[in-house]
Chains A and B, each alone.
Chain A
Amino acid sequence: SAVISQKPSRDICQRGTSLTIQCQVDSQVTMMFWYRQQPGQSLTLIATANQGSEATYESGFVIDKFPISRPNLTFSTLTVSNMSPEDSSIYLCSGRGQRNTEAFFGQGTRLTVV
């Protein structure tokens, strides 16, 4: 399976600011996803990052709040914009190959908004 390097691993940010999280995969993957895991909860899919086009967002998530880029098959970024304390969460990127394979995850970013 591929390895995803995600950074930063953690950050403490002021409300109203923005943070960009990066994920670099060591091999090409067909699909990349961004998840949020709020304290005590399971993983919620934010969006599917599409190479060279706009991401596909899940219900309750919008591009203005969570802009995503995926310029190639090995790299993606998620920005959390105009942050509030409610955005405090773990953010995870994930990749899957073309066939019915398992999804693998980056190390996660623990975001605290104060």
Chain B
Amino acid sequence: EDKVVQSPLSLVVHEGDTVTLNCSYEVTNFRSLLWYKQEKKAPTFLFMLTSSGIEKKSGRLSSILDKKELFSILNITATQTGDSAIYLCAVVASGSRLTFGEGTQLTVNP
């Protein structure tokens, strides 16, 4: 059975801090790993990673994948209160279905 584990489950930081969110996985026939941000209901897409060692970057957010060690990290630098959300990691394996981790609840305090 495919498995995705995120850590920490919750995190409280102050504005300006840098955070690192972790995602490890055990799946058959890995195809890609995706990160999403969920503020209210609908998750919004952040990154898709398919190759090891290639950093994806968008503003203050960046992510990288290690296919040998089966994990990915999502970094957020200079956090803002608007970064407060649940961050979801999902893995696409055989059959094209996504398996989601439990999510990390990030709270950024002013």
User: What residues make up the interface of A, taking CB atoms closer than 8 Å to B?
Assistant: 1, 9, 30-31, 33, 41-45, 48, 90, 92, 94, 96, 100-110
Q: How many A-B residue pairs have CB under 8 A?
A: 53
Closest 7 CB pairs of A and B: A108-B41, A43-B100, A105-B42, A42-B100, A42-B102, A102-B45, A102-B48
**Interface 1/0s, chain B 53-94, versus A by CB < 8 A?**
000000000000000000000000000000000001010100
One of B40, B97, B101 near A42 (C-beta < 8 A)? B101
User: What residues make up the interface of B, taking CB atoms closer than 8 Å to A?
Assistant: 31-32, 34, 40-45, 48, 50, 88, 90, 92, 96-103
Could you tell me the dominant secondary structure of chain B's interface residues? Answer: strand
User: Chain B contacts of A104 at CB under 8 A?
Assistant: 45
A103 and B98 in contact, given A42-B88, A42-B103, A43-B88 (Cβ under 8 angstroms): yes
